[in-house]
């Protein structure tokens, strides 16, 4: 191959490597999720120690102690009848130390963030920009077979895709109080945008009442900013080009005086 041919080939290889990297990032966008459920016995008032057990150390934590939600987090509640209501902050705080996973206050799946006698169909958390990992402490899910006031089992739905019945997961504890801590990890480049908890039978054995679900210590591992990702890819491209140029210079130096 001529020297010109070698140079052209090196640029083609560098370019195709770059585009292959872009392609792999695209095709892995819907790879999947893994789910971990921790029994309520992991709960402890020392949240740093608990976070280490839950694998959420360093995550952004929403503790629901005040009405402000962490950046990017919102939720919507769908009642048994009527349309969904979207919340970017809490309507009020609600203290429930027996249900909490940190401090005192919690989020109840009720439009008034209140623990009242009637429930809802579902609650959906939305993470603007997405998260690579999502955790939340759960309480007062009144699963079928619960020792106190059973109502219904519950679906867990991520990005619109059902991951099955929450109540059937290992470590799920049927209780009036804490039921478990859920952590969902995206893999293969996937991103968690919405997490929905849905009552399977909103009309339970206690008349028209759906289940109210309680949440606390919501943990997010945000997706890196697009700018940071592009910058990282840019650095990779620069290093790739520099390596190619260095090799071309070496080839040229080795062929100084050669006839073309
Ligand atoms: Ca709390
Ligand atoms: Ca309940």
pLDDT digits (tens, 9 = 90+) for 46-69: 999 999 999 999 999 999 999 999
Whether residue 22 contacts residue 234, with contact meaning beta carbons closer than 8 Å, is answered with: no
Residue range of the domain that includes 246: 3-25+227-254
Does residue 71 carry a pLDDT above 80?
yes
Ligand nearest to the CA of 176: 2
Asked, for residue 259, whether it belongs to a domain, the answer is no
185 and 147 both lie in a single domain: yes
- Domain shared by 114 and 234, yes or no: no
Domain assignment of residue 15, yes or no:
yes
User: Where does 217-256 have alpha helices with state H?
Assistant: 226-254
- 0.85 exceeded by pTM: no
Residue 121 lies in a domain: yes
Q: Are residues 64 and 86 in the same domain?
A: yes
Give the environment of ion ligand 2: residues with CB less than 5 A: 140, 142, 211-212
**Does residue 260 lie within any of the structural domains?**
no
Q: Which pLDDT band holds residue 243 (cuts at 50, 70, 90)?
A: low
Same domain? For 13 and 124 the reply is no
Distances, alpha carbon 102 to alpha carbons 48, 78, 111, 154, 228, in Å:
10, 26, 22, 23, 32
Q: Specify the pLDDT at position 12.
A: 47
- What pLDDT does residue 27 have? 32
In a domain, 186, yes or no: yes
Q: Which ligand approaches the C-alpha of residue 215 most closely?
A: 1
CA 100 / ligand 1 centre spacing (Å): 5
pLDDT per residue over 208-225, tens digit each? 568 999 999 999 998 987
Distance 143 CA to ligand 2 centre (A): 9
Q: Report yes or no: 218 and 126 within 8 Å, Cβ to Cβ.
A: no
pLDDT at residue number 35: 94
In whole angstroms, give the CA distance from residue 31 to residue 158: 12
Tell me how many domains the chain contains: 2
CA of 165 to the centre of ligand 2 (A): 16
Q: Identify the pLDDT of residue 220.
A: 98
Q: Domain for residue 55, yes or no? A: yes
Distance 160 CA to ligand 2 centre (A): 23
CA of 210 to the centre of ligand 2 (A): 8
Lowest mean pLDDT segment, chosen from 4-13, 74-83, 132-141, 191-200: 4-13
């Amino acid at each position: 191959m001529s020297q010109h041919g070698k140079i052209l080939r090196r640029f083609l290889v560098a370019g195709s490597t770059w585009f292959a990297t872009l392609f792999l990032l695209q095709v892995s966008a819907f790879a999947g999720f893994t789910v971990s459920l921790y029994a309520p016995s992991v709960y402890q008032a020392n949240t740093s120690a608990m976070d280490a057990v839950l694998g959420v150390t360093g995550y952004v934590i929403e503790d629901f102690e005040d009405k402000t939600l962490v950046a990017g987090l919102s939720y919507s509640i769908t009642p048994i009848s009527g349309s969904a209501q979207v919340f970017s902050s809490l309507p009020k705080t609600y203290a429930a130390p027996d249900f909490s996973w940190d401090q005192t206050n919690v989020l109840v799946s009720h439009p008034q963030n209140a623990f009242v006698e009637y429930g809802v169909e579902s609650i959906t958390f939305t993470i603007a920009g997405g998260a690579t990992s999502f955790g939340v402490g759960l309480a007062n899910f009144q699963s079928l077979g619960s020792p106190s006031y059973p109502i219904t089992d519950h679906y867990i739905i991520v990005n619109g895709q059902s991951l099955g019945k929450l109540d059937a997961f290992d470590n799920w504890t049927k209780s009036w109080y804490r039921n478990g801590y859920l952590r969902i990890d995206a893999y293969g480049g996937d991103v968690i945008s919405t997490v929905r908890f849905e009552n399977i039978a909103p009309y339970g054995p206690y008349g028209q009442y759906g289940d109210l679900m309680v949440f606390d210590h919501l943990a997010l591992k945000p997706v890196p900013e697009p700018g940071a990702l592009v910058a990282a890819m840019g650095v990779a491209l620069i290093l790739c080009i520099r390596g190619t140029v260095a090799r071309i210079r070496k080839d040229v130096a080795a062929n100084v005086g050669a006839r073309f």
